[in-house]
Structure 1
Amino acid sequence: MLRVLAVDDEMPLLEELLYLLRSDPRIRSAEGASDATGALRRITVALEAGPDGADGIDVVFLDIHMAGLTGLDIARLLAGFARPPLIVFVTAHEGFAVQAFDLKAVDYVLKPVRPERLAEAVRRACAQLGRSGEVPAAPEGVPAAAAPSVPPAVPVPVPVPVPVHAAVPAPPRQAAEVTVAERAPEQIAVELGGVTRFVAIADIAYVEAQGDYARLHTDEGSHLVRIPLSTLEERWAARGFVRIHRRHLVALARIDELRLDAGTTSVRVGSAELQVSRRHARELRDLLMRHATG
C-alpha cells in the first residue's frame, strides 16, 4: 500500500484529490500540502526517515502551477536525492508533459481529475515500486464500494526545520535549456482511454470549439482536449492559426479554397467546409493574399 502526499495551492482541488486518493484501497495514507514550502518540509522529513521509515512517502501527486516554486521546480530538487519519492503530476496544463517525463514522472494526469484516470496513475506507481497494483477484494458479504469514508480535511504538516542540504536551490539552467523550456511546445498532449499521446501541432488542420473543450482535427482523425478555443488561438497565433469563426480556428497553410457565395464566405480544409463569420472574412482574405504572395 502507498503513502502519498498531494500538493496543490487551490484548496478545493486539493481536498477533492485527497478524497479520491483516500477512497482507493491501495492508498495507506494521504496527506496534503497547499504550497511548495509545506510540501518541501514534509518531503524533507520523509527523506530523512528513508523509504522504509515511519514517516516515509512513496508518491507525491504534484500540481505544476503554484505560487513560488512550481511543481517542476520541486521535481528537479527531488531528482538530486538518491531515493526520492515517485512523482505524479496533476495539472490543468497539457503543455508541460514532455518536461514532466524528462523528470522521470510516473504519470501526467490532467484536471479535472477523473477517478478512473487517477486509479491508473496509482496502478503505475504500484508497478514501479514493485507492489501489487490490483485493488484488494472486499471482505465476503461487503460490497466493494463500501470503503470507509474518510473526511477530506487536509492535514496540516508539522513545521520542521528544513536541513540546509535540502534547501539548496536547483542549479541555474543553461541558456539552451531556458530556450527550450520557454518556447512554444511542438506537440500537444491528448488523452484517450487513460493513455497520453502527443500530437504534432504541425499535423493539426483546424480546431473546433466544444464548450470548455476543443477538438483537434488532423488528417488521421480528431482528439478532444480540455482547453478553450480562445486559449489555443492566443498560443498558436505565431504558428499560423487564425480565428475564422467563434467555433473554428484554422491553420492558414491548410486552407485549400476560399469560397464567396451570395455574401457568405467559407473555406475548404481538406474534406471539411467551414463557415467564416463576417467579422473575420476581410481579415482572412487579406492574410491569404499575403500568404500567397509570400
Structure 2
Amino acid sequence: MLRVLAVDDEKPALEELLYLLRSDSRIRSAEGATDATEALRRITRALDAGPDGADAIDVVFLDIHMAGLTGLDVARLLAGFARPPLIVFVTAHEGFAVQAFDLKAVDYVLKPVRRERLAEAVRRVRDLVVTAREARQPEPAGPVPYAAALPVAHQAPPETIGSAEQIPVELGGVTRFVPIDDITYVEAQGDYARLHTDDGSHLVRIPLSTLEERWASRGFVRIHRSHLVALARIDELRLDAGTTTVRVGAAELAVSRRHARQLRELLMFPRNSKGTGGTPTARG
C-alpha cells in the first residue's frame, strides 16, 4: 500500500484531494502540506528515516502554482536526492506538461480532479512500486516514466498510437480522438509532440520522429527538426534572403536548409498521394 504526501497551498483543494486519496484502498496513508517548505521538510525527514521508516513517502501529489517555491521547483530540488519519492503533478494548467514529464513525473492530473482520473494515477504509481519490490530491488532512485517500469507484455506497442484515421489525445482524464486530417502541423516538445489543428492544440506522448514515419503516406513532411507539416495545409511558401518559411493558417514556420529543396519540389510537383493537395502560393 502507498504512503502519500499531497501538497497544495489552497486548503479546499488540498482537503478534496486528501479525501479522494484516503478513499482509495491502495493508499495506506495520505498526509497534506500547504506549502513547498513544509513539504520539503517532511520529505527530508522521510528520506532520513529510510523506505521502511514510519515517515516514509512513496509518492508526492504536487500542485504547480504555489506561493514561494512552485511545484516544478520542488521537483527539481528532489531530483538532487539519491532516492526521492515519485511525483504526480496535480494542476489546473495544461501548459506545464512538457516540463513536468521532463522532470520524470509519473503522471499529470488536471484540476478539477476526477475520482476516476486520480485512481488511474494511483494505479500507475502502484505499478512502479510493486514492480520494484517484486524485482527485489530498492525503490526507484528517481521518478521513472510509467511505461518504462512495466513488464514488456504490458507496454503499449508502437502501433497503438492511433488508428489509420484518428489519434487519441487525453485531457483531464477524457480521451478524445482527433482526425489526422484535421491536423495542420506537429511541433516537437522533447519526447512529446503537440498536434495543431484549426481549433487548438493537443499534447501527446509520442516523439515527432515516430509520427513522421507513420504519417508520411498521409502527406506529412518534416520541414525542420521541430516541425512536421501536412502538405495540403500549407497556404504559402516564402523565400526571402536565403531563408524559407511556410504559412500554415495563422502560423509561420521556418524551413531548415536541409529540408527546403525537398519541400519546394513536393509543393511545386505534387505526387499523387493522400494528403497532397493543390500548390500553395509561392512568394519571394
TM-score normalized by the length of structure 1: 0.49
Displacement of 1:12 after TM fit? 0.8
Displacement of 1:130 after TM fit? 1.4
Q: What letter corresponds to residue 73 of structure 1 in structure 2?
A: D
Displacement of 1:95 after TM fit? 1.2
In the other structure, the counterpart of 2:68 is 68
Displacement of 1:104 after TM fit? 1.1
Inter-partner Cα distance in structure 2 for 1:65 and 1:121: 20
Cα-to-partner distance string for 1:91-120 (whole Å, 9 max, x where unaligned):
111111111111111111111111000000
Q: How many residues align?
A: 165
Tell which has more relative contact order, 1 or 2 (C-alpha 8 A, sep 6+): 1
In the other structure, the counterpart of 1:42 is 42
TM-score normalized by the length of structure 2: 0.51
8 Å Cα contact 1:2-1:26 kept in structure 2 = yes
Inter-partner Cα distance in structure 1 for 2:4 and 2:54: 13
Inter-partner Cα distance in structure 2 for 1:67 and 1:96: 17
Q: What letter corresponds to residue 119 of structure 2 in structure 1?
A: A
**CA 1:113/1:196 → structure 2, altered by over 3 Å: closer, same or farther?**
farther
8 Å Cα contact 1:191-1:197 kept in structure 2 = no
SS of match in other structure, 2:90? strand
Displacement of 1:131 after TM fit? 6.1
Identity of aligned residues (%): 73
**CA 1:206/1:42 → structure 2, altered by over 3 Å: closer, same or farther?**
same
Inter-partner Cα distance in structure 1 for 2:77 and 2:58: 16
1:133-282 matches, cutoff 5 A = 190-191=170-171, 200=186, 203-207=195-199, 251-252=249-250
Q: What letter corresponds to residue 198 of structure 2 in structure 1?
A: Y
Inter-partner Cα distance in structure 2 for 1:82 and 1:93: 29
Displacement of 1:205 after TM fit? 3.8
In the other structure, the counterpart of 1:24 is 24
Inter-partner Cα distance in structure 1 for 2:85 and 2:177: 25
In the other structure, the counterpart of 1:105 is 105
Q: What letter corresponds to residue 97 of structure 1 in structure 2?
A: A
Displacement of 1:22 after TM fit? 0.4
Q: What letter corresponds to residue 191 of structure 1 in structure 2?
A: L
Q: What letter corresponds to residue 252 of structure 1 in structure 2?
A: A
Q: What letter corresponds to residue 24 of structure 2 in structure 1?
A: D
Tell me the C-alpha RMSD between the 2 structures. 3.4
SS of match in other structure, 2:17? helix
In the other structure, the counterpart of 1:96 is 96
**CA 1:102/1:23 → structure 2, altered by over 3 Å: closer, same or farther?**
same
8 Å Cα contact 2:18-2:30 kept in structure 1 = yes
Inter-partner Cα distance in structure 1 for 2:119 and 2:106: 13
In the other structure, the counterpart of 1:11 is 11
Displacement of 1:80 after TM fit? 1.1
Inter-partner Cα distance in structure 2 for 1:106 and 1:197: 23
Query: Structure 2 regions of 5+ residues with no counterpart?
Result: 133-168, 188-193, 203-214, 216-247, 253-281
8 Å Cα contact 1:10-1:34 kept in structure 2 = yes
